[in-house]
Amino acid sequence: MKNQPIKRSEYVIALSRDHHSGLLFCWKIKQGLKRGRSLNRIADYVNFFWEGHLKEHFQEEEILLFNQHDCELTRRGKEQHLFLENIFRANGEGHLKEPDYLNFTEQLIAHIRFEEREVFPLLETVLSVRVLTAVRDILIKLHSKPFEDNYPDEFWIK
């Protein structure tokens, strides 16, 4: 039974839910590209998702988790955030072409998997229960209302 879902601890479940939104975001971009949708439509959605959701998600991970334990994995997570942020910036400036979007979605998917399979499990073992509980409590407050991807242009469908 390959690729079983990872059972995430209660401490970072809100971030894992965000990761699900990120995977769905990538799927929508790929569907839009597959259907030959305008890159402008896709670019607008990418900006919406970055500004309305993912930028804050990256900050939460770095402040609440990565900064709590300096190691190769958390440094790599921060580097990946910076790399992805630069792609979002290039998108906002209108510099991406179709292959860039395909590469970007693969990079974001790989980043999400890296965090879920390597970074979070490590941090759940090395951080104290006190720190993890504080992280959980902050995330509960920050995520009292889950992200709603209510983007009006469903380019991935129509």
Q: Which of 112, 128, 107 is nearest to 58 (CA)?
A: 112
Task: Please check whether residue 153 is in contact with residue 31, taking contact to mean a CB–CB distance below 8 angstroms.
Answer: no
Tens digit of pLDDT at every position of the chain (158 positions): 455 555 667 899 999 999 999 999 999 999 999 999 999 999 999 999 999 999 999 999 999 999 999 999 999 999 999 999 999 999 999 989 999 999 999 999 999 999 999 999 999 999 999 999 999 999 999 999 888 899 999 999 97
pTM reported for the whole predicted model: 0.92
Residue 82 maps to a domain: yes
Residue 54 maps to a domain: yes
Q: Which of 79, 51, 68 is nearest to 11 (CA)?
A: 68
Domain count, the chain: 1
Residue 135 maps to a domain: yes
Task: Please check whether residue 152 is in contact with residue 28, taking contact to mean a CB–CB distance below 8 angstroms.
Answer: no
Residue 76 maps to a domain: yes
Q: Which of 47, 61, 49 is nearest to 114 (CA)?
A: 61
